[in-house]
Amino acid sequence: MILCDIGNSTYHFLIEGKDKRYLLDEELPKFDDEIYFVSVNDRGSKKLIKSNPQAKNIEKLMKFETEYKGLGIDRALACYFEKNCIVVDAGSAITVDIMDEKHSGGFILPGCKAYMNTYPKISKKLNFDFDININLDKIPLQTKDAISYAMMKSIILPIKEVSKDRKIIFTGGDGELFSKYFENSVYKKDLIFMNMKRIIDANNCIA
């Protein structure tokens, strides 16, 4: 069984327990196995089905209760089995979702790469390599630190404020980095794939 999470910029496959990414414009292989996928990207879905007609979208198997209008299926999937916690997917955007008894809403911060791309566009003088291990207990004394500190604080503090004392589950490429700043946190690298498997198993749809 192959799983695939189709995002805004990549196909993220889990093939025999291993990650494999393809850019949306790349040619996809023809797989022999069953493929189950979720997608926030219609064009990406169509292309996968064209190259692999056996691929099945599991979105229709999901029942996710929320008043949020237009919640991406990847966010719903990350939150799917959680209660009374915060779910943070730190990728190209950083989605922060609040799970009480059900989904209570959320917000979307720019991802680290988006921050890093933004500063040099404001001024050439703000073109530095970021230091993601910057000391956040010390007010910066140079511009390189001033932008790294601001980026980290502007991501960490809104998550901290909304989380109160609740557990925080991090996933996504920068999830491990940010989980270190929260005592009550766990990092689940493959949260999306884990939850896809649980949904597929629960629906007994493996041939």
Q: Where in the sequence numbering do the catalytic residues fall?
A: 74
Residue 190 CB, nearest distance to its own copies (Å)? 22
Output 22 or 111, the one with its CB closest to its own copies: 111
Residue 54 CB, nearest distance to its own copies (Å)? 28
Single out the residue of 189, 203, 178, 176 nearest to residue 78, CA to CA.
189
The β-bridge partners of 56 are 36
What gap in Å lies between CA 175 and CA 93, rounded to an integer?
11
Output 155 or 196, the one with its CB closest to its own copies: 155
Residues lying near its own copies in the complex (CB under 8 A) are found at 8, 40, 67-70, 72, 92-93, 96, 98, 104-111, 114-115, 117-119, 121-123, 125-126, 138-143, 145-147, 149-150, 153-155, 157-158, 161-162
Residue 157 CB, nearest distance to its own copies (Å)? 4
Torsion angle, alpha carbons of 95, 164, 98, 192, to 10 = 60
